[in-house]
Structure 1
């Protein structure tokens, strides 16, 4: 059984990625979530409705012991499973001007994005090296590429993940493991639901927000065998807002 793990896979872009990996690449998808089990079950049902297979994995990516426990338990109960794809999608935003930013808002955003990447990817990396195949895709953001005012913590976290992507890609490339980052701009999701779309569209050359499915198409390509010579790259998907 070939598997793909998507952290933060219950809603939005994560859900769209789970659906595409199951439908187009035939993976058994491990849908990670932390709080919203209802949404995770909806994602599972959508995959199964399209004749795909998936299962739920509840853990907080920022908590190493929780990650290790959940993934070890899953591995021991699925000895025949072969994990090939990791999509590090889990992330949170706690926006605010830096001069008024509480320490908790700084550390929680960093912990989820950066430490979450470490906890999940490090758990599997030796197994990917032994099997000589893997796809690691890190979801960053236009904020991590150019910086966004009011998001110093989020921009810092995503920029750190960008650097980690480029470094890890060079470490594991000889074993047929690719590591890439995808940097979405404004995409319809819970994270952008409260934004002034009418005003923000004026900043976007394509004159619209993107759809989660469009991001998922890119991630699915990078997760496929067709992308075997692409590694260490950051691919922007933002309607031309930052090119």
Structure 2
């Protein structure tokens, strides 16, 4: 049985990704930060091939504990989905230093930590898929999101660099850049105006993202390396 480690698993996108991999028979290591949202994963709680791992992924030691627990359960990690993320949107002149720091550490540092730790197992097994959830904000920028856009641009650049290090080891590293998706991060946005601007005329769903992640985590994507796959309804 293949296994997948998914961070940010309690959000709409993380949950959709977990469901997609579970449907394909994967063992799941689901990482969450807050107990408040753990009930979102209740559908998996009686499944012996699913484990729940709490960790603040801004902290390297906690990332180490999460990865160690997943390896202890499954023996290997075939797919890593770095989905943990947050926003603290403000215009730059109003943005506090902590607002910038928290977003960069959560969205970018965690990708570095988790990838570094999981890569050892993947190199040993000569197989692995790493999918980093970025954003179109990391490609085109967005007002009020200097911190978020910078973090996601960093994720994309990190992806391209790591891919070139490990592609010959049978390890695929790719990024997924969603646009405006119905999720926790977009619930406070003015959706009517956004929808009008989208060629497809609607927001994307968490399942749209999950389907693309599942593809990148499969052997059908074995010749795709170091790319950012955009799922945005034609927004950019």
TM-score range, shorter chain: over 0.9
Distance 2:75 2:196 in 1: 47
Distance 1:159 1:70 in 2: 25
SS at match of 2:226: coil
Alignment correspondent of 1:34 = 33
Distance 1:61 1:100 in 2: 26
What does 1:74-85 correspond to in 2, within 5 Å? 74-75=70-71, 77-78=72-73, 81-85=75-79
**58, 63, 68: which one aligns with 2:59:** 63
Shift of 1:199: 1.2
Distance 1:30 1:69 in 2: 12
Superposed CA RMSD in Å reads 1.6
Runs of 4+ aligned structure 1 residues displaced above 4 Å come to none
Shift of 1:127: 1.5
Q: Give a deviation string over 1:76-103, Cα, whole Å, max 9, x none.
A: x43x522100000001100001122110
C-alpha contact 1:138 1:182 (8 A) present in aligned 2:
yes
2:145 is the alignment partner of 1:151: yes
Shift of 1:48: 6.4
Unaligned regions of 5+ residues in structure 1, if any? none
Alignment correspondent of 1:222 = 216
Alignment correspondent of 1:191 = 185
Q: 1:194 to 1:163 in 2, by over 3 A?
A: same
Q: Tell me the matched-pair count.
A: 236
2:6 is the alignment partner of 1:12: no
**151, 164, 169: which one aligns with 1:170:** 164
Normalised by the length of structure 2, the TM-score is 0.95
Q: Give a deviation string over 1:56-84, Cα, whole Å, max 9, x none.
A: 01001101111113332443x43x52210
Q: Give a deviation string over 1:106-145, Cα, whole Å, max 9, x none.
A: 0000001111011111111121112110000000001001
C-alpha contact 1:183 1:236 (8 A) present in aligned 2:
yes
Shift of 1:47: 4.1
Alignment correspondent of 1:72 = 68
C-alpha contact 1:22 1:47 (8 A) present in aligned 2:
no
Unaligned regions of 5+ residues in structure 2, if any? none
Distance 1:73 1:238 in 2: 34
C-alpha contact 2:29 2:70 (8 A) present in aligned 1:
no
Normalised by the length of structure 1, the TM-score is 0.92
Q: 1:120 to 1:103 in 2, by over 3 A?
A: same
Alignment correspondent of 1:96 = 90
Distance 1:217 1:236 in 2: 12
SS at match of 1:192: coil
Distance 2:203 2:39 in 1: 27
